[in-house]
Amino acid sequence: MKILLIGYGKMGQTIAALATQRGHEIVGIVDLHASQQNISDFTPATIDVAIEFTHPDSVLSNITACLHQGLPVVCGSTGWLHQFDQAKALTEELGGSLFYASN
């Protein structure tokens, strides 16, 4: 599986290590401090899934950017559920894919 990591803190680094051990490929990392890449650099042709583990203030904008790119998103960030209904509505509107579970 080709994975885009959004957020490269402890969880992002752990996901990268586990995914690589299991034969998956980290195609890109979008992180304020660890990369120069942007979500808009990726398409469904270049990745299979975006995994989002960031700060609550950036979750909705990251999910929105992924959905507009046509990227399926798995989100494990916490503290943003007051915006979940917006993310769910946009997912349905764009026919996208969003899976959320708290860590």
Domains in the chain, please, with CATH? 2-100 (3.40.50.720)
**Over its length of 103 residues, how does the chain's per-residue pLDDT go in tens digits?**
999 999 999 999 999 999 999 999 999 999 988 778 999 999 999 999 999 999 999 999 999 999 999 999 999 999 999 999 999 999 999 999 999 997 6
pTM of the model: 0.94
Is residue 28 within 8 Å of 51, Cβ to Cβ?
no
Estimate the crossing angle of helix 84-94 against helix 56-69, to 10 degrees: 0
Alpha carbon distance 103, 94 (integer Å): 26
Residue 86, pLDDT score: 98
Burial class (CB in 10 A: 0-12, 13-18, 19+), 98: buried
